[in-house]
Amino acid sequence: MKSLSIYQDFVETAIAAYHLPESPNNLYEPISYFLDLGGKRMRPVLALMSAELFGTPFQSAKQAALTVELFHNFTLIHDDIMDEAPLRRGKETVHTKWSENIGILSGDALLIEAYKALANHPAEQLAKLLPVFNQTASEVCEGQQWDMDFETMEMVEIDAYIKMIAYKTAVLLGCSLKMGAIVAGASNSDANDIYEFGVNLGVAFQIQDDILDVYADQNKFGKQVGGDIIANKKTFLLLKAIEAADEAQLKEIKGLVSEKDSALKIKQTKAIYAALDIKAKATDKMNEYHHKAMDNLAHIAVSDEKKLPLRELATFLLGREH
């Protein structure tokens, strides 16, 4: 497997060379600052890997990679405002360092930059790329709204939760892969299969995130273990517990919402999860979506050898401990 760092370095170089206007400074400097915060750049990497899967040098997907990364960072700037988050990757968020108004406007400008990168594709590619990107952009916003709506809802169906995480996060992975496939001239069938591979892998990844929040090793986890429990966040684990609980357990779950002692809240919630075998049920659901992703990959009409990097990446992502 080609080292991920080769793709990541290519993306970092492309972002560093990306030209932004110099004025007004308070509009474009926050964008440069935010893009420089780095990250794993997995979405643009997927676009590059997909182009290579279908027989095209990964460098040819540069503009597709930039499109999805610029869009992703736009969503993060606005997410930080909605979450009132002071830090992103250990650094001040844009609205904290500048102001909320600047964060909103710089995020808007970054979305426009994503469309500028998209418009750099040849007309015949753009005609196929634009509907995919537009649909994804709408779905990401819909997923974010559902996530906010769920905060005030007493009960959320598990299917609704799965759809929310698919739209909020997973569809952009699928979009990245499909855009790389389109640039490489893949068939419609293969482009759709690689899209579904990304969506199903993304759902599995998000369920794994819910599991790690409760069961990760604190020394390896990048945030507080049990943070979702403390925040009363509706995760797959909590919703599955509510679904499986008897009357007494359900009463206890509801009572823990107002528990102020964080350590006690985590301990008692984990005890309920253990009694209901929630970790195993969540892991089963994660594996279900992983298997769906592997089935999508299997349907693609290229050699198994060419598919190996994406299969290994999926195994790597779902084998993480943090």
pLDDT in 10s for each residue of the chain, 322 residues: 578 999 999 999 999 999 999 999 999 999 999 999 999 999 999 999 999 999 999 999 999 999 999 999 999 999 999 999 999 988 999 999 999 999 999 999 999 999 999 999 999 999 999 999 999 999 999 999 999 999 999 899 999 999 999 999 999 999 999 999 999 999 999 999 999 999 999 999 999 999 999 998 777 666 678 999 999 999 999 999 999 999 999 999 999 999 999 999 999 999 999 999 999 999 999 999 999 999 999 999 999 999 999 999 999 888 866 5
Task: For the chain, give every domain's residue range.
Answer: 187-322
Dihedral sign for Cα atoms in the order 180, 185, 190, 192 = positive
Helix (H) / strand (E) containing 186: none
Judge residue 78's burial from the number of C-beta atoms within 10 Å of its C-beta, 0-12 exposed, 13-18 middle, 19 or more buried: buried
CA distances from 251 to 150, 245, 255 (A): 20, 9, 6
Dihedral sign for Cα atoms in the order 58, 71, 77, 223 = negative
Q: What is the pTM of this model?
A: 0.95
Judge residue 161's burial from the number of C-beta atoms within 10 Å of its C-beta, 0-12 exposed, 13-18 middle, 19 or more buried: buried
Exposure class string for 33-57: b at 16+ Cβ within 10 A, else e:
ebbeeebebbbbbbbbbbbbbbebe
Topology of 187-322 in CATH? Farnesyl Diphosphate Synthase (1.10.600)
CA distances from 97 to 24, 74, 229 (A): 17, 16, 29
